[in-house]
Structure formats: structure tokens, C-alpha cells
Structure 1
Amino acid sequence: MTTSEEAQDRRPRYHRTAAALLTVLMLLAGGWLLWRTEELADSPALDNRALADTRATERVVGDVSGALGRVFSYAPQDTASTRHAARQLLAGKAARQYEALFAEVEQRAAQQKLTLTTHVVRAGVTRLTDRDARLLVFLDQVAQRAGKPATTVAAQLSVTAELQGGHWRIVDITAR
């Protein structure tokens, strides 16, 4: 056999080996991709509707922003409506904390003729499921004492809300 015949004889064997190797590599890659797909399918991130469901995200932001504005705004002559709003809009730990603090606030508001107005500047949903939501909220609070200039203070809160009876209720508030 001449060298050119030997080279032609090796070529088909080389192609078969390369094809077999390529087939094995593709099977391995396919198996790895299938494993990664299953791993991703079990991810808790898939339950987070915050980015995919804009209507639900807008609703929870609107409900929570409105609630924060109502429960953190009061006038010295009308703290009862603020307390009433808190009972409707807060639940769980947030309601207990609020009740403990608001008795003192009511007393000071009347004595100092203090008006507090709270506006949500920006709110973002970090996690949203069918039952609960977590938000990061930036707000401005304007405090006005009788006869003194108003002062504005910025605040940042982490808020957890739960869907109860078709309405979002705040269940936890943490200052950041």
C-alpha cells in the first residue's frame, strides 16, 4: 500500500471518530442543558411576579403608597381618622407597632399643634406573589408646628403587604 492509499484509508476512520466524538459531546451538552432547565424551573424567582405582571405590581404600589400616606399623616385636631385608617390598612406586626407608637404621637400632636403630611416619592416592588408583596418605599414627611416653618424629612422603608379580602394590607414596616 502506498502512502496516498494509507491516507485515503485513514480519512474515513478519522471522520467516523470525529462524528462519534461530536455526537457524544452534543449528548453531554444536551443533558447538561436539560439539568439546568429543571434547576431553573424549581427556582423561587419564577414565583416573583414583580417584573412580569405590571398590573398587579402597579396595584400593590398604589395600595401601599396610599396606605402609608394615610397612616403617617395627621393633624392635631383629627388624629382619630388616622387611627381609624391604620386599623383598616395595617395588620399583624405593623398594626401592633403602630398602636404602641401612635398613642404617644396623638398626645404630642395635640400639645405641639403638630401636622404631619407624608408623600410616597418612589416605591418599588422587590417581590410579588399571589398572596404577599415586599416593597422598598422612599417617602417625604413634612412636619409643621404651629407658628414655625415646615421641615421635610426623607425616609426609606421596607414594607411587607398581604392580600386580604381583595385589598393589600401592610403587615410589616421596617425603617432602613
Structure 2
Amino acid sequence: MSTTRHLVNRRRRLATAPPRTPGAEPDPASAQATATATEPQAAEDSATAATATATDTDAASDTGPRAAQDTATDLDADLDTDAAAGSDTAPDAPGNAPRDKASRLRVGLPAVLCALTVLLGAFAVWAFASAGDLRDEPARQNAALTDIGRTSEVKGRISEAVGAVFSYDYASPARSDRAASTYLTGRAVRQHKDMLADVREQAPKQKLVLTTTVTESGVEFLDGDRARLLVFADQSNTRTGKDEETTYAAAMFAVDAVRRGDTWLIAAIDTFTR
């Protein structure tokens, strides 16, 4: 057995070795023996290669799950490391910066809201007090400074009333009485009667005609249905007897007016005399 193997190996070496002389041909018997010996060796080599391939396959098959398991283990380790880096036990870790900022925002937001609430409450109190002060100011209650339409209406009605009640004609005293009952009310009724008492007494004898014309007036105060006006008027007093004579005078006085329905009435007369 050993002799045959030795012979086979020798022939293999001879077959693989280059020929010693150019053009030499290998021996046919040697070539056949070499081929015969090579076939078992090739089969043995194929079996060895197959075994190695199977081993590699098994290693690869074992490596796949093991590699996946190792990868999962490494991933879990990385996640644990990241969680530890972002946890409260690692405040200096870079991952804790957003969480610390969010925590500060959560703590600071209620304080800011409380401060804003206090400021808004203080502003509301101040605004309410200021509005009350403005409403209480006389200038704010005086519509004569803001309501041009009503101011003009009061001036026109009172100017008409003054011209009517302070004019007197001895020939038609009833006209003066109608004017007094139309435009006067309250204390002004008595005041007007006292002011024209001398005119009424002397008018029939001297045939007096008193004419009053309002030249200018101004609304001093206007609030709702009450008003106070300053009136400037010219008065002419004419005697129509034998010696006709006319005298002129200027008058200035203030009147308090009240609204009754659609018209304004004179409620008081102030001649600025004591």
C-alpha cells in the first residue's frame, strides 16, 4: 500500500515537473497513472473544499443571528447611554440643555402671567378712577363746549324770549302779558313783574314804547335741560306824546333757562345788582 502511494506521488511529481529536455514527451503509462492517482486526490480535495464550504456556511448562518443579537445589544446599550445622558442624574450632559430650558420656561411662565395680571388690574383701576374724575369735572359736563347744535338752539330761543318779555307798548299791554306767560317760569315771573313795574305805571301817561333787541349772547353752561346764558341787549325807550323823545341804553344780564317740552323758558334773571 505504501509502495503504491510512494509510486503515485513520485509519478505526480514527475508529471508536474517540467521536462528536462526540450521536446520530451511524457510517458503514456506515467500519464495514465498520474491521472488515476489524481482522481482520488481530486475527490479528496473536493470533499475537503465542501467541508470547508459547509463550515463557512455554518459560520455565516451562526454569524447572522449572532451579529443581529450583537447589534441589538449594542443599540440597547447606546439607548441606555443616551437616556443616561438626558436624565436628571447627568445635568452636565449636552442632551440635558433643551430639557433644562423647558423646565425654566415652565417655572417662569406662571410668574410672568401673575405679573401681567397684576399690571392689568392696576391699569384697570387707574383707568376707572381717571374716567370718574373726568366725568366729575364741570368742563366735561358742559355741553356748551362740545354740542354746537344745542348751544345754537338755546341761544336762539332765549334771545327771542328776552326780546319779547322786555319789550312793552302802552297801546297793547296784553302783548307783554302773553310774552311773560309764554317765556317765563319759576322765579323769573316775579322778577320780570318787578323790573317792568315802573314802565307799566308810566307808559299810559307818557305813551311809552320800550323795545329790547338782543345784540349778543353766550351760553355759559349747558347740561341736559338746564342752561345759563349771558345776554347783551340794546334798549330804546320812546315817548310819543307832545314832545317825542327816544333814549337808548345798553343792558347786560344773565338768565337761567330750563327746557320744557320743545322750547326753552327763562327761569331766573340776574342783573348783577345787590
Contiguous gaps of at least 5 residues in structure 2: 1-118
Secondary structure of the residue aligned to 2:231 is strand
**CA displacement at 1:148 relative to structure 2:** 3.0
1:1-150 equivalent positions in 2, closer than 5 A: 34=127, 36-146=130-240, 147-150=243-246
Aligned residue for 2:262? 166
Contact 2:254 2:270 in 1 (8 A): yes
Secondary structure of the residue aligned to 2:251 is strand
**CA displacement at 1:114 relative to structure 2:** 0.9
Please report the RMSD computed on the Cα atoms of aligned residues, expressed in angstroms.
Answer: 2.1
Secondary structure of the residue aligned to 1:50 is helix
Q: Distance in 2 between matches of 1:163 and 1:116?
A: 27
1:76-124: CA deviation from partner (whole Å, max 9, x where unpaired): 1111111111111001111112234434422211111111110001000
Aligned residue for 1:12? none
Secondary structure of the residue aligned to 2:150 is helix
Match for residue 156 of structure 1 among 249, 252, 273: 252
Contact 2:218 2:230 in 1 (8 A): yes
TM-score by length of 2: 0.50
What number of residue pairs does the alignment pair up? 148
Greater strand proportion: 1
Higher relative contact order (CA 8 A, sep 6+): 1
Distance 1:106 1:121, change over 3 A: same
Between 77-86 and 33-42, the greater mean CA deviation after superposition: 33-42
Question: Which contiguous aligned blocks of 4+ residues in structure 1 show a shift greater than 6 angstroms?
Answer: none
Greater helix proportion: 2
Secondary structure of the residue aligned to 2:220 is strand
**CA displacement at 1:44 relative to structure 2:** 2.7
Contiguous gaps of at least 5 residues in structure 1: 1-26
Distance 1:38 1:97, change over 3 A: closer
Q: Distance in 2 between matches of 1:103 and 1:80?
A: 14
Q: Distance in 2 between matches of 1:117 and 1:69?
A: 8
**CA displacement at 1:38 relative to structure 2:** 3.9
Q: Distance in 1 between matches of 2:166 and 2:132?
A: 46
TM-score by length of 1: 0.76
Contact 2:135 2:141 in 1 (8 A): no
Q: Distance in 1 between matches of 2:236 and 2:189?
A: 23
Secondary structure of the residue aligned to 1:91 is coil
State the identity %.
39
2:237 maps to amino acid: A
1:137-174: CA deviation from partner (whole Å, max 9, x where unpaired): 10000111123332110010111000012210001111
**CA displacement at 1:36 relative to structure 2:** 4.5
